[in-house]
Amino acid sequence: MDYLLIPQATFIGKQIKEVRKIKILSIDQSTKCSGWCLTNNNKYHSSGVLSVEDLADTIERMKLMYDEIKQLIKRVKPNCVLIEDVQFQRNYSTFRTLSQLQGLIMAYLFDLDLPFYIIPSTAWKSCCHIKGAKRQEQKKNTQKYVKDTYKLDVSEDEADAIGMATYGIVNITQN
């Protein structure tokens, strides 16, 4: 299996033959609200948010979000998927849950034999020149970046997915 490597990202899967003409789906995954963005031929195509009922049972919520993500992948039929790497913030339980969701998504992508990248948030934020000392400031700056660059007024989760997609356009399809 050939590997296509980009700085600061982990690639898993088969090499994509025509990287300049691919549909990339980026997902900012969460168990409550996951942002997504689809690019086609190096251009923004569409984006949105997947939301599930705010249930007390984390496992049930994770299953619902996993099902939503699977349906999105089936619907948009990407050639490659970008998922944000999980990082420990302050809450071990949240970190564990997000890691488990990431594992479910990875398993599904393995089953589909669909190549994917795991993108550290620091990598796509650096690519988009997102500044801010605190997480909330970075979220607001990402929304501003999306508004200035794409003329879109979107939620924090959708903005993060669009930022990851921008990273994909710059580092995957143009290298």
Residues of the chain with pLDDT under 70: 1-21, 55, 173-175
pTM confidence score: 0.86
The pLDDT value recorded for residue 81 is 95
Asked if 77 and 58 count as a contact pair (C-beta separation under 8 A), the reply is no
Opening angle at CA 18, ends 16 and 23, nearest 5: 75
Residue pointed to by tokens 């979000």: 65
The pLDDT value recorded for residue 19 is 53
b/e map of 151-165 (b: 16 or more CB within 10 Å)? eeebbbbbbbbbbbb
Which of left, alpha, beta for 82 (phi over 0: left; psi -120 to 50: alpha)?
Answer: beta
Distance CA 92, CA 97 (A): 9
The pLDDT value recorded for residue 39 is 96
The pLDDT value recorded for residue 172 is 78
Architecture of the 10-173 domain: 2-Layer Sandwich (3.30)
The pLDDT value recorded for residue 12 is 57
